[in-house]
Structure 1
C-alpha cells in the first residue's frame, strides 16, 4: 500500500500524474515537466513535499546530541535559523542529508528525506543520549514549497509577515498565511528564491488552494517531482541515493563546506579527516556530452579506455537544452576540460568535464 500526503485528494483536479516514489504515491507532473521547470525559473511553482520527514529534538542535551550526530556546526545557529547538514556512518558514508532548524537552545527540528524517515529515526534513537527527546512529527506535518522569483510577491498577498527582511536559511514560527498558522522558512531545493511552509496536515489543502489563487496572475503553476529533480540537478543540489549514499562521503560529493572537521568530534569525523588528509579518491563533477546522447544515472564513465566512475544524475537541461550530467569519477580526471566518454547502450559517447552548477539564479 503506497503512502499518500494530505494533498493527494486534489492532485487529480490539477491533472496530476502520480507515480510510486520510494513508497509514496506522488505527482511526477501536473502540466508538463518543461512548463513547470520554466515556471519556477521565471515566475513560480508550488510543490507538495509533505512526504518529507520532520523530527523534533528537545531537551537540555539537544545541542550536544546534534553536534555528535551531524557534520555541520549546530552551535553556530541563532534562534530562527536553519542549516544544511549531513548525518554520517563511522565509515564517512552518509546516513542522510537534512536541514536542522533551531527554534530555541533546547528545541530543534530536523527535516529528513522521505525514504529515510524510519532509518534516520532508528539511527538517532540508537545514539540517543540523556537530555535529548525525539518526536516524529512527519504524519502530522504537511510541507508546501513555493519556489521562484515571484514567490515573495505571491506570498505577500496572504500575510503581513516581514518577508523582505527574511534572509535565506532563516524562518519564522506561527506566521499567519491566509489565516493558517505556518512555520515559514526561506529555503528550497530549486536553485531559486522561495519559501517552505510547514503546516498541520489538516491545513494543507486550504493553504495549497489559497497559494494557487494568489499566484494566478503571477504565472504560478503546481509542480511535480519531475521538475523538482531537474531544478535541483541544474543547481547541483544533491539527491540522496544518487549523489549521496552510505558508499559516498560528503567530501566526495563536493559538500566539504557543510563538514566542520574542527568543531569537535562527531560520528564519521575520523574517516572524513583521513579521507581529506590522504586526498579524495574520486569526486563529483559536471559533464557535458559532445556527441548525441543523454547521460543517465549509473551509466559508466570512461577515460583512456578504462572505467573511471559513473553518472549519478543526468538529463537534457530544460533551461539550457544541453545534455549534461553529474558524475562521480576518479580524481585524476576531474579538471574542467578533461575529455571523457559515457557508455550509452554499449557505445562510448564523447563528453567533457565542465564547471558546476549548471544554473545560478539571476
Structure 2
C-alpha cells in the first residue's frame, strides 16, 4: 500500500514552524521507494535529507513521501509534489526514472534530481555512486572468509548497477579464492523483507556461508544470524545493530554532501543539469567498519584495496577479463570505460547462470 507521509522539517529537526512563511524558503522534496526506516537505502537517503535540512535551517522546507511504488504511482506522487510548490525534487530509485522525466516536462520551472538513472533534461540531473568499488572490497572479504567456497548474492533487478556489483564482487572474490562459486537469486524487489529472507534461506540451504545483497532490508542479516556460521554485509548502511556477529562489513552510501551542494545551487541560482558518478575517493561510497570476525591480516589487505581504489591507483575492472562466454573483454592492464560500465548487461567469465531479460 502506498503510504503518503509529509514530514515538515520543523517537526524533524526542531525548527520553528513560523519559518515556513518566509518568502525565500526553498522547498525540497524527497521520494523513497521504501520506508524511511528500512535500515538501508531509503533510510540513508532520509538521514542525508535531514542532515541537509539541519545545515540550511529555516531556509529550507523538506517534504517526504516514502514507500512509493515504481511506475504510475510515482508519477502521481511527483505531480502532487510539484503542484505543492516544490523547487527541487530528489527521486531516489532507478525505477522512478521515466516518471521523473515525464513530470519534469510538465513543470519546467521545478528542478529534479534522479538517483542511479541516466536520463537527463534541462531541469533533470542524475546522480549515483560507484557502488561497484565497494563491491570489490566486499568480494575480496567474501572470498577470504568463506569456508564452503560458496557465496550467495541476493540481487534486486537486472539493471547495469546491479550487474556491475555482482561482477565486481565475483572478480575480487575469485582473485583471492579461485575455488569460489557465486549463486545469484533475483528477488525482483528493492525492499521486501519476506522475499529477501526466503532468498537468504535458499542460499544458505545451497551451502552459501557468505551472503551479499543488493536489496534494502535487514532480513538477510536476520536469516544469517538464525542459521549461524553465515556472514553478511550491510547494504547502503552499516546494519551492524541488526546482526553484529555474522556481519563482516558494509557499503555505506554518503549522500548528505551532495544534497547540501545541490540545494545550495538552487538557492543561489547556479543549479544546472548534471551527471554525477562518484565513488570511494570522492566520499560518496564508504566502507563500514570491518568487524572482529575478520582476521587482522585480511582486514589490512581489504583496507589496502579500499585505499588503492580511493586514490585511483587501482580500478576494480582492470584486465585481463573475459565475458561469461569466454570472449575477450579487457586486455592485460586495460581498464573498463565508463560507457561500458554504465550499460553493463553481461556477466564476466566464471559466473554461472543467465541474466534475466
Normalising by structure 2, we get a TM-score of: 0.24
Normalising by structure 1, we get a TM-score of: 0.24
